[in-house]
Chains A and B, each alone.
Chain A
Amino acid sequence: MATFSGTVGLTVKIVLLGLVNGVAIWAATVLASNGKWPAVGVLALTTLAIDAAYIARRALPLKFLIPGVVLMLAFQVIPIFYTVNVAFTNYSTGHILAKDEAIGAIKENSLSAAESGKSYLMTPARDAEGKLVLLLVDEDNRATFVGTREGLEPLPQNQVRSGENGIVAAEGYTVIKGNELFALDRELNALTIPTTGSAAIRPEGLDAAVELQPTLRYEATRDQFVRISDGVVFRDNGEGSFVATRGDAELEPGWKTAVGFDNFSRIIHNPLIRDPFLRVFAWTFAFAILAVLLSFVLGLLLAITLDHDGMRFQRGYRSLLVLPYAVPGFLSLLVWQGLLNDDFGVVNELFHLDVPWLFDGTWAKVSVILVSLWLTFPYFFLVSLGALQSIPAELKEAARVDGGGAWQVFRKVTLPLLLVVVAPLMIASFAFNFNNFGNIYLLTGGGPQASDQTVAGSTDILISYTYKLAFASGKGQDYGLASAIALIIFFIVASISALTFWRTKALENVR
Chain B
Amino acid sequence: MSILDGAREQPLPLGLERADEVVRTKRRRGWRKELRATWWRHVVGILAVLFSMFPLVYVASAAFNAVPSLSGAEVIPDRLTLHNFGILFHDESTHFFRWYANTLIIATCTAIITVLLGALAAYAFSRFRFKGRRMGLLGLLLVQMFPQLLLIVAIYLIVLQTGKVFGFIGLNTLTGLILVYLAGAMSVNVWLLKGFFDTIPAELDESARVDGATPSQVFWGVILPLAAPVLAVIGLFSFIGVVNEFVIASVLLQNSEKFTLALGLRSFIDQQYAEHWGPFAAGVLLSAPPVVILFLFLQRFIVSGLTGGAVKG
Contacts and interface: CB of A to CB of B under 8 A. Distances in A.
Contact of A308 (B41, B120, B164): B41
Instruction: Tell me what chain B mostly uses at the interface: helix, strand, loop, or mixed.
Output: helix
Interface stretch (B2-10, B80-88, B144-152, B229-237): B144-152
Interface string A365-377: 0000000101111
B184 A328 contact: no
A151 interface: no
Contacts of B38: 308, 310-312
Given A310-B29, A341-B273, A425-B309, A329 B244 contact: yes
A68 B153 contact: no
B250 to A, nearest CB: 9
Given A61-B133, A323-B292, A390 B14 contact: yes
Nearest to B147: A435
A61 B213 CA distance: 16
Interface residues of A, number: 123
Nearest to B130: A61
Interface string B207-218: 000000111110
A320 B56 CA distance: 11
Contact of A77 (B37, B120, B143, B288): B143
B201 interface: no
Given A328-B287, A479-B153, A65 B217 contact: no
Interface stretch (A3-11, A106-114, A179-187): A3-11
Contact of A329 (B121, B183, B274, B313): B313
Contact of A61 (B44, B128, B150, B191): B128
- Chain B's interface size range is 35 or more
Contacts, number: 336
A315 B157 CA distance: 49
A379 interface: yes
A65 to B, nearest CB: 5
B202 interface: no
Interface string A71-106: 110111111101100100000000000000000000
Nearest to A445: B270
B1 interface: no
Given A310-B38, A326-B296, A341-B70, A321 B221 contact: no
A337 B313 CA distance: 14
Contact of B312 (A62, A329, A345): A329
Interface string A155-182: 0000000000000000000000000000
Contact of A68 (B121, B144, B146): B121
Contacts of A435: 147, 149-150
A4 B218 CA distance: 9
A386 B16 contact: yes
Interface of B: 13-16, 18-20, 22-23, 26, 29, 34, 37-38, 41-42, 44-45, 48-49, 51-53, 55-56, 58-59, 69-73, 117-118, 120-121, 123-125, 128, 130, 133-134, 136-138, 141, 143-158, 164-166, 179-180, 182-184, 186-187, 190-191, 194-195, 198, 213-217, 219-221, 240, 243-244, 246-247, 251, 261-262, 265-266, 269, 273-274, 277, 280-281, 284, 287-288, 291-292, 295-296, 299, 302-303, 305, 308-309, 311-313
24 contacts: A5-B213, A60-B128, A68-B120, A69-B121, A71-B117, A72-B143, A72-B186, A79-B154, A305-B44, A311-B38, A313-B42, A319-B296, A321-B48, A322-B299, A328-B243, A328-B262, A330-B262, A372-B313, A374-B52, A435-B147, A466-B153, A489-B150, A497-B145, A510-B137
Interface of A: 1, 3-5, 9, 27, 30-31, 34, 36, 39, 60-65, 67-69, 71-72, 74-80, 82-83, 86, 301-302, 305-315, 317, 319-339, 341, 343-346, 349, 372, 374-379, 382-383, 385-387, 389-390, 421, 424-425, 427-429, 432-433, 435-439, 441-442, 463, 466-467, 470-471, 479, 482-483, 486, 489-490, 493-494, 497-498, 501, 506-507, 509-511
